[in-house]
Amino acid sequence: MKSSVKTVFLIALLGMALVISWNAANAQRNEAPPAPQSEMQDGNTRTLDSVQPQGLIGFITTSNPYCYQPDVTRNECVINFRYTQANQDGNSPYLKNLQFSIDGKIRYYSGMFFENSNTYDYAMVPQGFKVLCGSPNESGLGNDYGKSYSVVISAISTTGTQMGANFFSVACPAYAP
Amino acid sequence: MHRFRLFLLVIALTVLLFLSPSPGSAQTSSISLQIQNPVCVQVSLNSGTCFIRMRSISAVGSGSSFSRLRVFVNGKLRANMIGFFENSGYVVGNMFGDGFVVSCGGKNASGNPDYGNAYPIVVIASLADQTTVSGSTTVYCPYFEGKSFLPLLLR
């Protein structure tokens, strides 16, 4: 008698486990796609508007944006960054290009040719992106700094939508001859 | 037996009290700085223009995001680098182009007859929580003889 009760109890447990796992699998299948993400840190922002599948694999990576003044006698500074990279998962819509804009003006376009990543390295534009240094404290950041520039690095899809973007500002040394 | 258990419990609690981390002993962030081979180079003898550069600069932080790295030459800010969701800053290769333009200076300008001007270089790196590290050095530039080389014109 006791063993039959045990058997029934075990069968019931097994049945419950099956029902729970089936429900969980169904819920996962009907799950809505993950929402676009946005993160902020230390005044910088990055967004991931189009997420896997049909999107980028994670945020666009950008490392060490900088602005330098080669010659103190000239009001000419150079903006660049060490590297940046966007990777896609290979599903349509595809990553069409990476573009950089400085103060709202596109300064760089990089297309794709049957590849899943788009990489930029500072040495690809060795002269950098020339901008005006600006006068001391022009950006309100102190006399060491001149102008501050807003930079946007965007990944654009084949349908023209933005798949992700990095937003930051970089301040340049002041021109103080 | 009951008293013995109570005694053990008190001992255990006391040990825990001393071992558990207190707010004051929380791990603080830190940042390290490496500067390799500060250089001053006179590319052309015809010119009094020298270039200051470094083989590399690296600033690596822990516990907080890397915020910025600044390079000062002779007290003037010449480069400003920021972090973007990262904990380190690197200057390598020709990231600053040919380098920072300075005047080579005449012979013995810095008190050393083999060289021209001397320039102090200061690098300051900081994290988002204001943890800061700085490094300073001086580079000596080759002197400019002021010679001008006229082209030889043949009739």
* Tens of pLDDT, residues B93-151: 899 999 999 999 999 999 999 999 999 999 999 999 999 999 999 999 999 998 655 66
Domain B29-142 sits in CATH 3.30.70.260: no
In DSSP terms, B60 is beta-bridged to B32, B88
Query: Which CATH number applies to A37-173: 2.60.40.10, 3.40.50.300, 3.40.50.1980, 3.40.50.720?
Result: 2.60.40.10
Which pLDDT score is estimated for B82? 97
In the predicted structure, residue B25 carries a pLDDT above the cut 50: no
- Report domain extents, chain B: 29-142
Query: Which residues of B fall within a CB distance of 8 Å from A175?
Result: none
Q: Does residue B24 register a pLDDT over 50?
A: no
**Neighbour-count burial of B126, counting CB atoms closer than 10 A to its CB (0-12 exposed, 13-18 middle, 19+ buried):** buried
Instruction: State the alpha helices, DSSP H only, in chain B.
Output: 2-19
* Chain A closest-CA separation from residue B101 CA (Å): 5
User: Helix, strand, coil shares of chain B as percentages rounded to 5?
Assistant: 15, 50, 40
In angstroms, the CA B24 to CA B39 distance is 43
pLDDT at residue A18, rounded to an integer = 60
> Encoding tokens for residue B39?
């250089």
Q: Contact A174/A52 with Cβ under 8 angstroms? A: no
| Residue pLDDT tens, chain A, 177 long | 456 677 766 677 666 666 565 555 555 555 555 667 899 998 999 999 876 677 899 999 999 999 999 999 999 999 999 999 999 998 888 999 999 999 999 999 999 999 999 999 999 999 999 999 999 999 999 999 999 999 999 999 999 999 999 999 999 999 999
Q: Do B71 and A68 touch (CB under 8 A)?
A: yes
CA distance B40 to chain A (A): 14
B61-66 average pLDDT score: 86
Identify all chain A residues contacting B85, using CB atoms and an 8 Å cutoff: 39, 41, 44, 46, 59, 62
- Write down the pLDDT at residue A20: 61
pLDDT at B23: 45
Region B26-51: what's the mean pLDDT?
Answer: 92
Mean pLDDT to the nearest integer, B34-39: 96
Do the interacting molecules here have an ipTM over 0.85?
no
Does B114 reach chain A within 8 Å, measured CB to CB?
no
Q: Would you state the pLDDT for residue B19?
A: 54
Q: Choose, out of B77, B102, B117, the residue to mutate when testing the contact with A (most A CBs < 10 Å).
A: B77
pLDDT at B49 over 80: yes
Contact state of A70 with B71 under an 8 Å Cβ cutoff: no
Q: Does the pLDDT at position B11 exceed 80? A: no
- Residues near A48 by Cβ (< 8 Å), separated by ≥ 6? A36, A37, A38, A55, A56, A58, A59, A163, A164
How confident is the model over B68-82, as a mean pLDDT?
98
Put simply, the answer to whether A68 touches B65 (Cβ < 8 Å) is no
